[in-house]
Structure 1
Amino acid sequence: MALVTSTEMFKKAYAGGYAIGAFNVNNMEIVQGITEACGELKAPVILQVSKGARAYANHTYLVKLVEAAVIENPDIPIVLHLDHGPDFETCKSCIDGGFTSVMIDGSSHSFEDNIALTRKVVEYAHDHGVVVEGELGTLAGIEDEVSHAVGSYTRPEEVEEFVTKTGVDSLAIAIGTSHGAYKFKPEQCTRNADGILVPPPLRFDILEEVSRRLPGFPIVLHGSSSVPQEYVKMINENGGNMPNAIGVPEEELRHAAQLSVCKINIDSDLRLAMTGTIRAYFNEHPDHFDPRQYLKPARANIKALVEHKLKDVLGCAGKA
């Protein structure tokens, strides 16, 4: 099976009440961990690459790693997607370079300029058989080169005009998720009976109104890592310093997937699993120096994390 677009994936996900995992990839071990999990659980998957990942690993290396994953996992559909494309030139480079899906993030522009930029990308992408994700609203937080000190919720009254005038194939909206591992400040949260910080709920009223205005249209959630506390603890117990790292509750993401959200982006959770595993390994084996020794368990924990997401959060296991 060759790389595919997300069109059929999203149709099935919308009808079936589940979401496709869109996992950010930066190196071989991350690609392997994700796709081995998806292959074993027969789950469709979106492998997404940011501008920062292209700068780090090189466009060609990443494309070839994903193409190798396709060869190794012929029974599952795989999309290669550009995450947060900042401009037309970056999107064009990815379209010309083998990606089957791109996101143009014009959310920092005015509404009119966002439409104009997104439409330009859509026209070029569709001429080349590539699908496009746009964005309305902004997410707070920092991840790679995407940074907003303060987020802004999507305005449902704008979505119909935006989709109609741009021709986008999916729409990322802002309902309270955010980028990075520090998604919520402690003062935004409450404490449950066990003293654990609980973040404010997502704005499902916005999602439901957007869905009412765009029936059948695939919605995307960015900044949707749950920041597993076992990996935060592992990092902190092995020389790290990540106080008050808080993510989006998984039960809220599962609910979103049962509505109109067809794509859920996950990046920080992968980083935490890899970093926590490697930090613990170094402490346990201070005499080891072969990268294969510590990257192997890191890859295994990424695989286990993705398996959990596919089965218990996204609901897309067995949907290939």
Structure 2
Amino acid sequence: MTERAPRVRVQRRPVHGVLLLDKPLGFSSNDALQKVKWLLRAEKAGHTGTLDPLATGVLPLCFGAATKFSALQLDAPKTYEAIALLGTTTTTGDAEGEVLERRAVDPAQLTPERLAEVQRQFTGPIRQVPPMHSALKKDGKALYEYARAGVEVERPARDVTIHALNLALTLAGQAQAAIKITVTCSKGTYIRTLGEDIGGALGCGAHLTFLRRLDTGGLGVERCVTLAQIEALDEDARLGLLQPVQTLLAGHVVVTLGEQDAGRFLSGMRRRGPWPDAGAVAVYGERPHALLGVGHVLQGELIPDRLLSPLEIQQILQGAPRAHIERGTLETTL
């Protein structure tokens, strides 16, 4: 009997920063996260909101200290490109589901004026009924678990905002009529549902055959790397792909504190200063220049909200040359 070679245990290490992944088709967000976490040998990791396995595109992965700020990306506006095939509805709203209904599509009815009318109808505040095939929970169970069991449960409509929407007639599959959707939307928007609702408004039904996230909170797909690109690099080069933790803090105003105030702020103490009120502040120490955490300013008080630990700051500073810490990117001081 041939003995198996012993499994090599991966030695984990502290890694801090953000990796902008172009998530591949067929991977769940967690699958992609675990793969990259293994490639970096990182101790702690998390992602910033799920992408369906059938979707590709921007998926910011957070490591170490960056996980403390991942929720900021959950709330950020996102931009997608999608293809909705007209004339066919499915159980899931995408190509994975079983066909529910087929209807004839009359291209003569899909005039630019008609598309513009539907585009206006779905721009701005709208209400959506979440799909059954989603991770939303009802009585402790995900909706997709009910769907797989053939049970449909009532889902209250949710308010979302479509900040920008463009619809264009195109062809998909075997020269079938389809709509190319480019949309910037708020947190909680289901693009599958949007595609279905647009198909319904056009009178023929639709389901998504393609979905790609182009941007989340100002982090665009042009800055992303693929799994194949990461795998092709050695360990040091992989670490070099990490963006600094403060990549997640774009839009925060910056306060830089002297040594004594920085130490007190880092221990959770409020600081007083000549700062105007601000709801989102990135706080740095001056010497050495390092991110301490985030807070807000109210009536001249800088109030800590989320702080890095001294150990995290030390590890980030020690790894600074490899983590591409960019000093000048956030220097818009209060």
User: Which bracket does the TM-score occupy, shorter chain normalised?
Assistant: under 0.3
Which has the larger strand fraction? 2
Question: Is the helix fraction higher in 1 or 2?
Answer: 1
TM-score (norm 2): 0.24
TM-score (norm 1): 0.25
Q: Which has the higher contact order (CA 8 A, sep 6+)?
A: 1
Query: Which protein has the larger Cα radius of gyration, Structure 1 or Structure 2?
Result: 2
